Chain A
C-alpha cells in the first residue's frame, strides 16, 4: 500500500520505516484491519470527532496527546517499552541467561499460542461493546468507551506486530485469523469463553472493564516478565493503557452506586422495587452483576492445576505477577500451593506442586487486587450512611473451568445440592428480569454535561477539561 507514511501514520519505535518485511506484512494486514473496524468497530460512530488520547512515543510526555479525532483516522501506533540491555531471564530453568531477542525454536509454538490468545481478546472486547455507544449515559462516558475501543485496537496491533515480526508465515496467518473470528459467532467464535458473552448494557460494561480488563492487567503483568524480550517490552507498554480501562470500570460502578445511594436517601427506602421505580439500579442487582462478572472473569485464569502453566514458567515464557519483586528461588520446584477441591460435599484445601498451580497463584493475586476496589465502592455506600456492603463471592462460586467447574457453591462458600442452587440462584446471579430492567434504563444522553438519571457525574473531566466539555462531536 503506497499511501502509508510509516512514521506519520503509524507512530512507532520499532524502526518500521526501515523494515521492509514488516512493512509488506502490514500493508496486507492494515486494510483488512480498517475494514474490520468499519464492520465490527463501534456502531455508527465512524464520522464522530472524539476527544482521544494518542500515544506518539513511549516517553511520559509523548504518550498522552489529546485532540478530537475520527476513530478510523486514529493513529494506531506500535510501541515497545524502552529496551534494557542488561535484562536477564529471572525465573525458570533458563534463569540467569540473556533474554531472547528472537523466538527460540523449542518455545515457538507455546509463544505463538500465548500471543494469539492475548491478541484474540483485544478485538473480541471491541466486538462485544460495539452497540454500547447507542445508549451512552453521557458524552464523557461515550468518549471513555471509544478511548478503550481504540486502545484495544492498538493492543491488537501490538500482538500482530509480534506475530508479523517474529513468526514468519504462520504468524501472518494467525494475524489474519484474528480479524476473522467473531465474538459470539457459533461457527468461528473468539478463543476464550468470557469474550463470547454479550456486553448488553453499561453496568455490564463497567463491571467488564473493572473485572475482565483487570484479568488483562494480570496476564500482561505475567507476560511483561517474559524471557522473550519483545513480548515483555510490548506488554509493559500496554499496561499503561490498561490502567485507563480499569479506571473507567471502577469509577463507573462507583458512580452508579453513588447515584443509587442518593436516591435511597432521598426516598428513605431500601426497597428494590421503589428504588427501581425511581429509575436507578438497586444495590442487590449491582451485587448480582458483580457476582456474575467476578466469577466469569476468574475462570479466565484457566484450570487450577495446569501442566501448561508449569511449562510456560519453567521455560521462562510467562512469569508470576511481580516476579521481580518476589524473594523466593524463582524455580519453585520444591514449593507447594493450596488449591480448593470438593471432598465429601465439602470444600477442602489440598497442597499441590506450585509449578502446576501457577494459574491459581495468578488468580489469587487478581482476587486480592479486585477486593481492594470493591472496598472503595463500599466507602461510597458507607459515606451515604447506608448499612449495606458489597462483597466478592467465594472463589468456588459459579465456576465453569477447572476442578470446581459445575460444583454448586453459594457466594458464602457452602457446597449445595442442585435443588438448593436452583432455589437461590436468582438471588445470586442477574436474572433475565434484572437484565431487562437495566436495559430499560439505557437511553442515550448526548448533550455535553448531561448525565442519565441512573449514574452520578464524575468528580472531574478528562485531561483537566470540565465535565461539560464537548468530548464527542457528532457531526
Chain B
C-alpha cells in the first residue's frame, strides 16, 4: 500500500513504441486530438489527454494501455516521446512510481486482471459506484461536434470581487446529449491557433443534474471561471473561459462529449455523499446536490456533507442558493482562506474539525467521497482523511478505491 500521492502528480498516458505498429487507429479515434505522430512514434500530449479511454479498445496491440504516475512538472513531453525506442524505466519517486493499471470501460474478469495488472497506486477509484446509472460517453467527437444554444449566462460571484465565475446554461433542443452528474463535456473555441490548426477542446464539468438545469428540459449548465492569470500569477487571458464568459443568450457553441465514466453518483437509497471542493470544482457537487434536492420528497437521500473552500465568502460560486438549502438536507462546511479578520482555513482544516462525523460516515459502506478542484488540494485532503480515520486508513483507502467510493477530479 503506497502513501498518498504528492499533489503535483499526473497519471500520464503513454504508448509503448516497442509494441505499437503505427496503424494510426488511436489517432483516428481520439475525440480530443491528443494523439499525434512523426515518422517514428505515436505519442500522447499530456496537456490534452483527458483519460477518456476511447483509444483503448480499438488499439490492436495493447501498446496504447500504459499509464505512469509522474510528477507533473516531469511529465514526458512530446519531444521526449518522439525520441524513444522503448518506454523508459519507471522514475523512482515518492509516488511509489509503479505503472498504473488503466481504468477500464467494461467490467472484466477480476482474477485475470489481478494476474496481469501491476498494483494500482492512483489514490482514487477508477470504477464508478456499483449503483451508478450507465453513462453515455464520446457521442460527439471534434470532427462531428454537436451545436448547443446559450439560453443563460449569469455571474455567480460578487461583482466587486476579482474572481469572475459564470453560470452558463446550454440548450440542446431536439438533439441527443444525455448526461449524468459528475460528467463533463468539451467546448471547441472558435478560430485557430498560431499554426492555423483548430483549437483543441477545453473540458468543463457539468453543474446541473441529469434531468436538466430546468427539470424536463434538454439543457445543462457549466460553471466557468474567467481565467485572467496563469498558475504563477502572470497575466493570461484564458482563450476558452473568456469566450464562454462573454457569450450572449442565443449564441451557439460547438460541444463534444460527454466524458467521464467513474466520477458518478450512487443511485441506491440512503447512499451518503461527502463532497469536498474548491472554486469551480463545485460544479459536479452542485449537480449531485441538486439531483438529491429534487428528490427530497421521495425520502431516499442519505446524508450529504459538503466541504467548500474559497478565498472569501463573496467568491464562493452559488453562495446564495447554497445557503438556502435546508440544514437537515445538507451539512455545509465553508473554509475561507482570505476572509479578513479570520484565520486562514482550508477544506482539510474543516475536515479535521468535523473528524468525528466524517469518521462515522466513512465507516458506513454506503458513503461515497468526491473531491474536485485545484490539483493542490488533493494531497491535503488525503492527509486529512488519513488523520480522521487513524490506523485503519490504509485498509479503508484500498477498500474505498476498489468499491468505487473515492473519486478525485483535480486540475
Q: Which residues of A contact B (CB under 8 A)?
A: 59-61, 63-65, 82, 84, 239-240, 243-244, 246-247, 250-251, 372-373, 376, 379, 459-462, 464-466, 469
Contacts and interface: CB of A to CB of B under 8 A. Distances in A.
A310 B105 CA distance: 46
Given A60-B29, A63-B58, A379-B85, A250 B21 contact: yes
A246 B137 contact: no
A88 to B, nearest CB: 15
12 contacts: A59-B139, A60-B57, A60-B138, A63-B58, A82-B144, A243-B24, A246-B23, A246-B60, A251-B21, A379-B85, A460-B116, A464-B117
B112 A466 contact: yes
Interface residues on B, range: 35 or more
A130 B404 CA distance: 46
A65 B113 CA distance: 17
Contact of A64 (B58, B85, B109): B58
Interface in B156-210: none
Contacts of B25: 239-240, 243
A237 to B, nearest CB: 11
User: Quick one: which of A243, A250, A462 has the most chain B CB within 10 A?
Assistant: A243
A414 to B, nearest CB: 29
Interface in B201-222: none
Interface string B375-397: 00000000000000000000000
Given A60-B29, A60-B58, A61-B137, A243 B112 contact: no
B119 to A, nearest CB: 15
B302 to A, nearest CB: 31
A64 B56 CA distance: 10
B238 interface: no
Contacts of A251: 19, 21, 61
A376 B39 CA distance: 13
Contacts of B28: 240
B247 interface: no
B283 to A, nearest CB: 25
B359 interface: no
Counting from the closest, the 8 A-B pairs by CB-CB distance are A64-B57, A243-B23, A244-B60, A60-B54, A247-B60, A243-B60, A460-B62, A466-B115
Contacts of B65: 464
User: Quick one: which of B22, B61, B109 has the most chain A CB within 10 A?
Assistant: B61
Contact of A464 (B19, B24, B31, B108): B108
B324 interface: no
A464 B55 CA distance: 14
A61 B29 CA distance: 10
B21 A465 contact: no
B327 interface: no
Interface in B56-86: 57-58, 60-62, 65, 85
